[in-house]
């Protein structure tokens, strides 16, 4: 990982990659929709934005933290494109009328704050644009990046259910330590599991995942402050054989939040996550 500015028009990487998919699908699917750092040159953001601002909402290194999954046959769908360009864990209908010409109507709290499918603000709150976007520009990003990503996720989930009668999505993210409740004298939460308050996964599934993290000495919270985003809502349909749990990791456990470089604790924490993933791979998940 380097501190270089992420805008690099050539070579052009794919917006996402699938690692570990095989002819014999696993029951689990991993996804990391916010781990990408590539900002396409056509974004048209405010000139001179720092790389810290452009990457401030990025789940830096999460795709690498969970990289043991593909080695065990669990496919990993990992974004390579920046969340600042398009947010793959938002509905394509979450359009921001403050940012986008030709859009009107009520906004969700997230969109009103500037975090729609095309964010108006970076993770640090800085404005990303000094212009308004056309609806054609927005549609182009959704069609080129967002829609193919979710088709790929749908294919992985469909193949898993066909092979096993059920499919379980773990949607991996990281959260700033301030969101984990870090403050003097109070231990922050290490992991937040979001299952849409029980709607996206059977209770026994979430409890078992929680127990595996707690076996590593990690402090786990449920659904607060993150209950699950678009992917969890889309694939959390237990009555149809699809379950989903969002996993938020406290960045301070493995990352220097100022430099976005691995911290001195990175390798130790990565080993704990690897042990959790091995235990997850050995579970027999209910149909």
pLDDT given at position 105: 74
Q: For the CA atoms of 60, 123, 142, 33, what is the dihedral angle to 10 degrees?
A: 30
Domains of the chain: 16-282 (3.40.630.40)
User: What local confidence, expressed as pLDDT, does residue 226 receive?
Assistant: 96
The pLDDT value given to residue 183: 72
Q: Could you tell me the CA-to-CA distances from 14 to 60, 82, 140 in Å, in that order?
A: 18, 12, 15
Phi/psi region, residue 16 (left: phi>0; alpha: psi -120 to 50; beta: rest), is: beta
> What pLDDT was estimated at residue 244?
98
**Dist CA 52 CA 6 (whole Å):** 10
- CA distance readout (Å), 106 to 96, 100, 114: 9, 14, 13
Tens of pLDDT along the chain (287 residues)?
444 445 544 567 899 999 998 888 999 999 999 999 999 999 999 999 999 999 999 999 999 999 999 999 999 999 999 999 999 999 999 999 999 999 987 788 999 999 999 999 999 999 999 999 999 999 999 999 999 999 999 999 999 999 999 999 999 999 999 988 867 777 789 999 999 999 999 879 999 999 999 999 999 999 999 999 999 999 999 999 999 999 999 999 999 999 999 999 999 999 999 999 999 999 988 77
The pTM of the full predicted model, rounded to 2 decimals, is 0.93
Give the model's pLDDT for residue 22.
86
User: Residues with Cβ < 8 Å from 13, sequence gap 6 or more?
Assistant: 38, 80
- Residues 15 and 40: beta-carbon distance below 8 Å: no
Quick one: which of 263, 231, 260 has its CA closest to 244? 231
Handedness of CA 261, 4, 13, 119 (dihedral sign): positive
């Amino acid at each position: 990982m380097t501190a270089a500015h992420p805008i690099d028009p050539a070579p052009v990487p794919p917006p996402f990659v699938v690692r570990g998919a095989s002819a014999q699908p696993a029951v689990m699917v991993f996804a990391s929709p916010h781990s990408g750092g590539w900002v396409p040159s056509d974004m048209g953001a405010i000139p001179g934005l720092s790389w810290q601002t452009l990457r401030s909402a990025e789940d830096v290194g999460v795709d690498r933290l969970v990289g043991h999954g593909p080695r065990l046959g669990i496919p990993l769908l990992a974004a390579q494109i920046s969340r600042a360009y398009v947010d793959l864990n938002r509905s394509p209908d979450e359009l921001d009328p403050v940012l986008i010409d030709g859009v009107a109507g009520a906004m969700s709290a997230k969109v009103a704050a500037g975090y729609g499918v095309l964010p108006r603000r970076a993770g640090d709150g800085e404005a990303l644009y000094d212009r308004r976007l056309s609806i054609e520009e927005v549609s182009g990003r959704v069609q080129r990046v967002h829609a193919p990503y979710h088709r790929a996720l749908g294919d992985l989930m469909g193949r898993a259910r066909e092979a096993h009668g059920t499919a379980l999505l773990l949607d991996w993210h990281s959260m700033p330590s301030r969101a984990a409740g870090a403050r003097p004298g109070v231990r922050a939460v290490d992991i937040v599991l979001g299952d849409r308050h029980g709607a996206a996964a059977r209770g026994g599934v979430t409890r078992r995942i929680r127990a595996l993290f707690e076996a590593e000495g990690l402090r786990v919270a449920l659904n607060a402050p993150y209950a699950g985003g678009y992917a969890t809502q889309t694939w959390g349909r237990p009555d149809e054989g699809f379950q989903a749990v969002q996993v938020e990791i406290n960045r301070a456990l493995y990352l220097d939040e100022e430099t976005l470089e691995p911290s001195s604790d990175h390798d130790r924490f990565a080993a704990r996550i690897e042990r959790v993933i091995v235990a997850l791979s050995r579970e027999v998940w209910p149909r």
